Structures are given as C-alpha cells and as structure tokens.
Chain A
C-alpha cells in the first residue's frame, strides 16, 4: 500500500528527467509532458481511492521507523490536494503545448513544469516538518525557472520581486522549523503533535507558531505581505500564471491547514485569532486592490489574494463546518482560478490584448468564450448554484454559528465586490464594441487552438459539476475536516496506536 503515496511523487520527477534527456523536438516534449501529467492524475486517483477506502496511507522512506526516518502520509486532505494537482497539472500541460513556443521548450520549460508539480505533491504528502521546508524549496526553484524563462523585460522585473520576497520567507520558514526542533527535539509531524501538546511552555510554542505564520503568510500572499504576487503573476506566459495561481499559494494554505490543526492548537485564541484577522483583512484588501486594476491578468492575480482570505477564515474558526467549507473553497478556487487565467489567454488569442481598453466585442464574435467566462466568473463570485457558492455558504454558516459577525460581513461584501470586478471584465472585454485601432486576434498556429480550448472546456465542466452536484464533494470535504480536527488518529496512523495511547495523559 505504501507505494501508492510515493507514486505521485515518482511520476513527475521521472517525467522531468525523461524530458531533460529524451526529446529533441518541441512536439515530442509536449506529448511527453502531457503523458506524464496524465500518469500523475491516475496515480493521484489511485491514492485518493485507497485513502477513502482504508484511511491514511503511510510510507516510511528507507523503512526507518516513524519518528526517526522521513514519513510520507496521505490522509483525505492530502489525497484530495494531490488529486487536484493532478487535474490542474494535466489541464495546464495541455494548454501549455498550445501556448509555449519551441524556444522555451528548448530551455526546459516542460521539465521545470514537472519539477514544480513534483514539489507541490511532495509538500502535500510529507509527514515531516523539515521535509516540508525542502519541498517548498523544490517548488520555489522550479517556479523561479518558469517565471523567468523567456527573459522578457517584464518577466525579469517580476521575477526579481517574486524571488526576493520568497527568499525572505524561506529564511523565516527555515528558522521557525529550527526553533520547533529546538523546542521538541523532533521533526516528525505526528511526533510533534504529541510533544507540543505536552509542552510545558505554551507561550514559547505560540511565539514560534507566530513566526511560522509569517513565513507561510508570505508564501500564501496574505494581507500585509502579498505584494510580490501582483508584481509578478501577470508577467509569464498564461500557462505558467495558471499553474502558479492554482497551486503555489495554495501549498502554503495547505501547510497552514495542516500545521495549525495538528501542531499549534495550544492557544487558539492567540494563533487562530491572528489567522482570523489577517484572513478578513486579506479578503477585503485583495478585492479592493483588484477593483483598481485594468488588465485582465492583473485583476485575476489580485483576486487570488482576496480568496486566500476565505480559506484562512475557515481555518481560524476551527469547527468541522468551517474547515470543510475552507477545503471545499480551496479546491473550487484552484480549479476556477486556473480556468479564468486560461480564458484570459483565449481572450488575448481572440482579442489581441490583455488590456481592458484594447479589448471589446468578444461577445459578438466568440459567444462560446463569453459563456465559459460567465460560468467561471459567477463561480468565482459565488453565485448559486455555482461551485463557489457551496464553500462560501458553509463558511458563512460556520461564521454565524461561531458568532463571528465580522467574518460573515466581510465574506458577503467581498463576494459582491468580486462580482463587480468580474462585471468590469465582462462589460469591457465582451460587451462594449471593439475599440477602433485595436490589434486583431493573435491567433496561434491553426493546429494549436484545440490545445488552448480543450482544457478550458474540461475545467468548465468540472466547475459545473462541483456546483450542480456538490454532494460527494461536500462529503469528502467533511471527512477531511473531521480528520484534521482529530489529530490523534493522524498520529496513531504514523506512529502506531500504542505510542499515542502511551502519550495521552
């Protein structure tokens, strides 16, 4: 069974090696990358099926027993995140074969892409705090490469800001991991759960937790420390922005969901209070920042910030409903955000620009694209019965139950303002007449258009499915939330039930 959790790690790295060694042609590299992503999706589906059937899957690397060696653990949340990574990895890989030119392929675009996917999967399945830091570095270095590949002026500028601020957060992450080790003498997450729960100085633990929160907060792009994101996300090719927006900030959100339910629950009034306040501010500031933008990719990028806030707010409440809502919203947001970026790519292919002032008349000329955009935009704003609605509904209900009125108000206001931004794109790019002097469509070579359209259609179908048939997804999110709130079961799966029973007072 334990091979199931290593498989989604092995596939992307094997693909990356194969991509670096084998293909001589652009088409060959694209085909190999898509094939590898499809294998990853299959491996992730196997893993989720196994987890849903038999509980957490644990692999001990090198067969070292749990607190000493590095453990890979997949519970429901991890398996769901790996599956979503597989879905997005495949969709964006197909899109990239249509968008990315032979020049970027020659410098290893697809190999870096698969290293990025491998790093993301590694962060989702690791059961070791230091190992989590290492996976963050793996995906970060791949992200640097993808961001700067091509070397256009805007890309270099964006990459400088992205790299600088992410390197600072890396240093803080490493320091907090070191301090946690100093407090407990262990790095295994399950072992840390037991030792931190019994730690004699909860105030010291909370101080380290706050430092960790800052480090992960920079990576997740939350309110006072999100400025690297709007400075860089609109600069690389659309495929890169789509996979970044789908996965990178979400890895940090996943890490917060994991660490602040498993490790740092000693003083929830302090740590989760900080998370709640930053979450609310992130929502509101992000959506206001997006309203001020006039370029499609920038509007969407700044919205990423706003939506991170919802997930943090769900984590802050620490109730099953709130966590289930946060997980559902996380999955929905990954899909719909990447979809919107892919649609932005199509808008540029048909309309010739990302700037709202140069776009126009797309509704008349490309009604199909307009319908896809409407579905995705409604879903992002959370109108019923779209996929965003259910996550927000759960979050707002959990907020009312927990009497967190500020959360309820902020979530509702943010939804309305999100709708405003989406309406702005709609009325400018689709409804108004095409401005005189606008450049015509930048059509990709004829054979490639299918590669751009296919993933957008598939992801739209997924968004509709999430919205119209939420039952199974809600059930899985609920299960994942309950597992998060019962860290004893996680520890027992990793360390064995005897160890956990022995540590209980």
Chain B
C-alpha cells in the first residue's frame, strides 16, 4: 500500500509539474491543486499507514485500547487542505483580476510591472476587446 501511494504521489507530482510549466496562469493553478494533493498523500503515507480503527478513548480509561490509526497526519492534512483552499481561491480570484485588468492570463505577456525599456512592443497587452463582457454589478 505504501509503495502504491508513493507511486501515486510521484504520478500526481509529475502531472502537476507539467501543468505548472505552462504559461497559462489557470493551468499553473490546476497544477498547484494537484501538487497540494500529492503532498497531502505524502504526509499520510510517511505518517505510517497503520490500522484504520478510529483513535477513540473508551469511557473510563485514559488511552485507547489496542492499535488505532495515527490521527496526527490527518489533522495536519486537514489544516493543509483548509489553507490551500484559501490560497487557491485567492489564486483563482487573482487570475480573474489579471484577465480583467491586464487582458491576458499568459504570464509571459504580463509585463505591466516591468521596466519601460525592457518592454518589447509585441507583448503589449491586447486592448479593450479581450475583456469579457459582463454587466457591472451595482456596488454593494
């Protein structure tokens, strides 16, 4: 089982590296989600795949009786999932914002923050038409 999970981690990482090498910001984010899952699996695996009995402490005693699953890696993964959920949501929001303000999700074409001299004319962000047409929402 450990070998299987290790191989799965490797597969996920390989796929995510392929995605993250893309110049498209969205593909990069998808790669990030994948590699996050690979890392979570890795934590589960290195934490030891013991018995799957839940680690409950029976009433009246202070320690679980018999072998139980290690709850700590799961607690770590849960925290990591929540955090990566927040970060990926921010990343998606940022990608949307980039599309609206810069008119592209190609990170090579994003040069708004570069020095003026270094900006070749060919990678100017396309003008208005690239923006998605979307009715303005009334300000909340």
Chain A interface (Cβ < 8 Å from any Cβ of B): 130, 134, 137, 140-141, 144, 148, 151, 153-161, 163-164, 167-168, 170-171, 174-175, 177-179, 181-183, 231-232, 234-235, 293-295, 298
Contact = CB atoms under 8 A, between A and B. Distances in A.
B67 to A, nearest CB: 15
A231 B113 CA distance: 7
A413 to B, nearest CB: 25
Contacts of B48: 182
Nearest to B36: A171
Contact of B20 (A160, A163, A168): A168
A164 B32 CA distance: 9
Contact of B32 (A141, A156, A159, A167): A167
12 contacts: A134-B79, A153-B101, A157-B98, A160-B110, A163-B91, A164-B107, A171-B32, A175-B43, A182-B46, A231-B113, A231-B114, A295-B115
Q: Secondary structure at chain B's binding surface: helix, strand, loop or mixed?
A: helix
Contacts of A164: 25, 28, 91, 107
Question: A141, A170, A178, A294: which has the most chain B beta carbons within 10 Å?
Answer: A178
A141 B86 contact: yes
A294 B76 contact: no
Nearest to B80: A174
B113 A154 contact: yes
B112 A170 contact: no
Given A144-B90, A168-B32, A182-B47, A160 B115 contact: no
B57 to A, nearest CB: 14
Contacts of B15: none
Interface in B1-47: 20, 25, 28, 32, 35-36, 39, 42-43, 45-47
A153 B114 CA distance: 11
B102 A156 contact: yes
B83 A137 contact: yes
Contact of B94 (A148, A170, A231, A234): A148
B131 interface: no
A153 B87 contact: no
Contact of B97 (A151, A171, A174): A151
B73 A159 contact: no
Nearest to B44: A178
Nearest to B77: A178
Contact of B101 (A134, A151, A235): A151
Given A159-B94, A178-B46, A294-B115, A153 B102 contact: yes
Contacts of B73: 178, 181
